A and B are shown apart, each in its own frame.
Chain A
Amino acid sequence: MMTSDRWLPGVGLGILVGVGALGLLWPSWSSGRVLRGEIGQLEQELSKPKSDPEMIERLSQELAGLNALRDQRMTPIPEERDVAGLMRELSAMLDELGLLEREITTGSPQVHDEASVMPMTVVLSGAYPSVAEAVIRIESLPRLVRVQRLRLALERTRSGAVNRSGIVRADIRIEVFFEPRSVSTAQAGGSRR
């Protein structure tokens, strides 16, 4: 019969080996496998096409150029029609220029491919410098306005003689843009009227 002093050390050794394998070797092997897996995934991720700093720099420069072009050349197209705001701005500007003899009418808005348009007619009467300044300011409004027709004419006297008063009549037909829409270039190519 086997005595306890013979089998007990064997059991102890078995426990030692088991605890050592499970508590020491297995976690090390397992964490090593996870680490190698992570490294493999990261290396694979790094091998994918990437944006290099030069490309970012190039894109940033291109964007800066476009922003400069926009700030220099473009007037925004507002989302809202805001007729009240436009009329307020026009009236204040014409009052400032002393052009009190005036008539402003608006037409029905039309929907076009790339934006909606509200036609507007401004008829002014006044000294040429003021009228010319009014035309400049109308075209410089902080929203896109396109002049569709402008006629500046010296007011005729009843007798038909040359008017020396220097009073000029201006008929300005403009289109005020709002609600910009994005359409493809191909679609928009023929929309210009």
Chain B
Amino acid sequence: MSGSYDLLPRSCRELVLKRARIRRWIMAYGVAIGVMTAGYVLLNLGRDGQVQYRNDLQAQVRMNWDRNEEAQRLFKEIQDLSNAIARYNRLAWPIRVSDTIAIIEPLVPESTTLTALTLAPRTVRVRGTAGRDGKRQPDQVLNYLAAEIEGIAIDDLAVARIVSGLDDHPIFASVTLDFARSIVVDGTPGREFRINCEIDLNKRYAFVESDAGYEAVEVSP
């Protein structure tokens, strides 16, 4: 027959049990605190890195927004300016009449006197012709500056010099001698003449002042 005998006095036994209970509670508290601390540590593990990463991303996003805003502002400005330039090109003539006078002046020999100069823009609408596919091409609007030059020259050679000067100049087209007839000025025989020519206003021109005079060159629109 086997068995255990508790020989401790009752008061001692209670004390031992109480101590054991207290130890269990302390252990339970310790475990709870440990679990919560571990949880807290785990939850906050790498938090500083994440915050830094978030801040970097925010800065990058803000920079992108700023860039996008800047790009949109630039786009709008470009669009507005392009529209204004296009409108200006449609409204203003590509060549000023004062530029045209400055080009004509050196082409006239000293012995020749200009009695009149008329410059007037003209517009001609050319109806579109039918193409090979039967479709009618759109009408074309031709703008040109018509110049009419009248004067008195000493002889036909001087008149011819003006005509060839205009003809050789890149901006003048359709140069025609309207007439060259005899005239007597203060008892001296001369030639009265009228020359017509045109400047294409659908093109763009740039002007340069050189030793040879005032020169115009055609530029791309």
Q: How far is the CA of A70 from the CA of B117 in the complex (A)?
A: 31
Q: Is A56 a contact partner of B97 (Cβ separation < 8 A)?
A: no
Q: Interface of chain B, helix or strand or loop or mixed?
A: helix
B51 / chain A contacts, CB cutoff of 8 Å: 35
Which of B29, B84, B97, B114 is close to A139, meaning CB atoms less than 8 Å apart? Answer: B97
Q: Is A192 a contact partner of B40 (Cβ separation < 8 A)?
A: no
Q: Is B78 a contact partner of A192 (Cβ separation < 8 A)?
A: no
Q: Is B115 a contact partner of A45 (Cβ separation < 8 A)?
A: no
CB B101 to nearest CB in A, in angstroms, measures 6
- 0/1 per residue, A49-65, Cβ < 8 Å to B? 01111011001101100
- 0/1 per residue, A121-157, Cβ < 8 Å to B? 0000000000010011001000010111111111000
Q: How far is the CA of A51 from the CA of B40 in the complex (A)?
A: 42
Given A51-B70, A55-B71, does the pair A46, B121 have CB atoms closer than 8 Å?
Answer: no
**Residue of B at shortest CB range from A181?**
B87
Q: How far is the CA of A6 from the CA of B14 in the complex (A)?
A: 13
B57 / chain A contacts, CB cutoff of 8 Å: 39, 42-43, 46
A97 touches B (CB below 8 Å):
no
CB B177 to nearest CB in A, in angstroms, measures 19
- 0/1 per residue, B17-39, Cβ < 8 Å to A? 01001000100110011001001
CB A73 to nearest CB in B, in angstroms, measures 8
Given A63-B81, A162-B185, does the pair A53, B67 have CB atoms closer than 8 Å?
Answer: yes
> Residues on A close to B: CB < 8 A?
5-6, 9, 12-13, 16-17, 20-21, 24-25, 28-29, 32, 35-36, 38-39, 42-43, 45-46, 50-53, 55-56, 59-60, 62-63, 66-67, 69-70, 73-75, 77, 114-115, 132, 135-136, 139, 144, 146-154, 161-162, 177, 180, 182-183, 185, 188, 190-193
CB A106 to nearest CB in B, in angstroms, measures 19
> In the complex, how many residue pairs between chain A and chain B have their CB atoms under 8 Å apart?
179
Q: How far is the CA of A9 from the CA of B81 in the complex (A)?
A: 81
- Size class of the B contact interface (CB-based, 8 Å): 35 or more
CB A38 to nearest CB in B, in angstroms, measures 6
CB B98 to nearest CB in A, in angstroms, measures 4
Q: Is B32 a contact partner of A13 (Cβ separation < 8 A)?
A: yes
Which of B36, B58, B91 is close to A77, meaning CB atoms less than 8 Å apart? Answer: B91
B77 touches A (CB below 8 Å):
yes
**Residue of B at shortest CB range from A173?**
B120
Q: Is A51 a contact partner of B71 (Cβ separation < 8 A)?
A: yes
CB B160 to nearest CB in A, in angstroms, measures 22
Which of B36, B43, B71, B186 is close to A161, meaning CB atoms less than 8 Å apart? Answer: B186
**Residue of A at shortest CB range from B44?**
A28
23 A-B pairs in the complex with CB atoms less than 8 angstroms apart:
A20-B33, A21-B36, A39-B50, A43-B57, A45-B64, A51-B68, A53-B67, A55-B71, A62-B78, A63-B77, A66-B78, A114-B87, A132-B101, A146-B121, A148-B120, A149-B119, A150-B119, A151-B119, A152-B116, A153-B117, A154-B113, A180-B84, A192-B90
